[in-house]
Structure 1
Amino acid sequence: MPEAVLFDLDGTLADTAPDLGAALNRVRQDYNLPPLPLATLRPHTSQGGRGLLRVGMGVTPQDDSYVELYRRFIQHYEERLCHHTTLFPGMAELLAQLEQRRIPWGVVTNKSERLTHPLLQQMDLAHRCACIVCGDSTPNPKPAPDPLLLAAQLLGLPTQNCCYLGDDLRDIQAGNACAMMTIGVRWGYLGTEHPPETWGADHLIDHPDEVSPLLRPAR
């Protein structure tokens, strides 16, 4: 049974969509465009700036305007990184349970180090993480297994002794690729193309309180 728990950040550990969506809408405001509802933006939040700029500005990294739009997006996001971001309901209780049971937990995200560390610090979580692996911590981000392999190495555990929670197909692909127990969470952003039932996760859950029964007994 897993001895450590790793979390995706956006859409799994924390609801970052309000601040990311606000940054996208400030980009739209820069171009005299009206704001988009958060409900429209939320499903694309796990894909970060790339996904939000695609739905919000109609551009992809192949477009000439993408670099400038992405620069503006990151600038706006950094200015208000943690104004409305919160842990998902039940997550604070889960983290407290893990710590009480002496089960280490960490974060593995495709978010850059430049954004991840300040965000976790502002949420007062950074000092509690046993490891933090970001999108630029390894040459290949998720869905490659590299970030999860690094996290297991930092924890000093075999990958099969860890589990990984995520709200996106890429999370499950990365975990499955390194023999880690994978847990798909239905409370996250989930994307728009692949329903969670098709991800191939070992478990699908609806609330953080479903995690503890999947772990090793308390010491």
Structure 2
Amino acid sequence: MPEFRFPDVALFDLDGTLLDSAPDMVATVNRMLAARGRAPMPLEALRPHVSKGARAMSGAAFLELSIAQRDALVPEFLAIYAEELGKHGVPFEGIEPMLRALENAGGRWGIVTNKPEYLARDLMPLLGWETRCAVLIGGDTLSERKPHPLPLQEAARLLGADIAQCVYIGDDERDIQSARAAGMASIAALWGYRLADDAPDAWQADVMLDEASDLLDPANWPQQAPR
């Protein structure tokens, strides 16, 4: 029987992969709507847009505005979101035991997200991850962001890890594009946030998993060469 193991390094997207942050973002959008005398939007209507970022969330809430007008709302969104950060969202079921299992097996893990770095870092102590997350790259940390390969390449470099010994896990097509461009194995997180017309079958991830708890089984991870 083959011996399955966790990777030496697991790199994760944050929103929609490790963290169910949709409730924080919905609270943010609904504060923006309330300030304009408008009714709140339900979680179900906004949830698919979360992984697309602040512009997409603002756009979904204010469909009548032009792209330029929606973009102008981003600073307001980020300011309110900083106040709602970590108040409502929680790690997906199965994430905490998986991270412990990964650590117990001698693996390291980090986060590569397109969320602004300061917001991602502010979340770490709220989740108890500030000393556990070995590297954190935000969307504004470097000159490029996902789907460019640079964030994943830099995360591996900072950890002194070979790309071939890393796996990246994300719920958006750009996550898988970034991993493929970097030459890194990937897992598509199907439990995350997707629009109706997203087609993860076409992303060409090495593995697709339905639930975060599926990551608890080392056999579900792309297998790498022996150490």
Q: Same fold (TM over 0.5)?
A: yes
- TM-aligned CA deviation for residue 66 of structure 1: 2.9
Q: How does 1:19-168 map to 2 (within 5 A)?
A: 19-58=24-63, 62-64=67-69, 66-67=71-72, 69-168=73-172
- Quick one: distance in 2 between partners of 1:217 and 1:91? 25
How far the C-alpha of 1:7 sits from its partner, in A, is 0.6
1:53 and 1:59 in contact (8 A); partners too: no
2:119 and 2:45 mapped to 1: Cα distance? Answer: 23
- TM-score w.r.t. structure 2 length? 0.90
Taking only the aligned residue pairs, the percentage that are identical comes to 38
How far is 1:56 from its partner? 0.6
Displacement of 1:122: 1.2
| CA distance in 1 between partners of 2:15 and 2:202 (Å) | 20
Cα distance in 2 for residues equivalent to 1:110 and 1:75: 17
Deviates more, 1:52-61 or 1:97-106: 52-61
> Contact conserved, 2:163 with 2:183, CA < 8 A, in 1?
yes
Paired with 1:33 and 1:97, the residues of 2 have a C-alpha distance of: 45
Aligned match for 2:204, one of 180, 200, 211: 200
Does structure 2 retain, via aligned residues, the 8 Å contact 1:44–1:192?
Answer: no
Judged with a 3 Å threshold, the aligned counterparts in structure 2 of structure 1 residues 11 and 162 are, in CA distance, closer, same or farther, namely same
Report which stretch shifted further, 148-157 or 184-193: 184-193
Distance 1:180 1:59, change over 3 A: farther
Amino acid at match of 1:20: M
1:65 Cα deviation (Å)? 5.5
Structure 1 Cα separation of the partners of residues 177 and 64 of structure 2:
26
Q: Distance in 2 between matches of 1:152 and 1:109?
A: 14
User: Structure 1: which amino acid aligns with 2:58?
Assistant: L
| Alpha-carbon RMSD | 2.0
1:107, 1:81 → 2: CA distance? 17
Structure 2 unaligned spans of 5+: none
Contact preservation (8 Å) 2:191, 2:212: no
Q: Runs of 5+ in structure 1 lacking a partner?
A: none
Does the 8 A contact of 2:13 with 2:113 survive in 1?
yes
Q: Which SS does the other structure have where 1:63 is aligned?
A: helix
Taking a change above 3 Å as real, the CA distance of residues 9 and 190 of structure 1, as seen in their structure-2 partners, is same
Match of 2:176 in 1: 172
Q: What SS class does the counterpart of residue 115 from structure 1 fall into?
A: helix
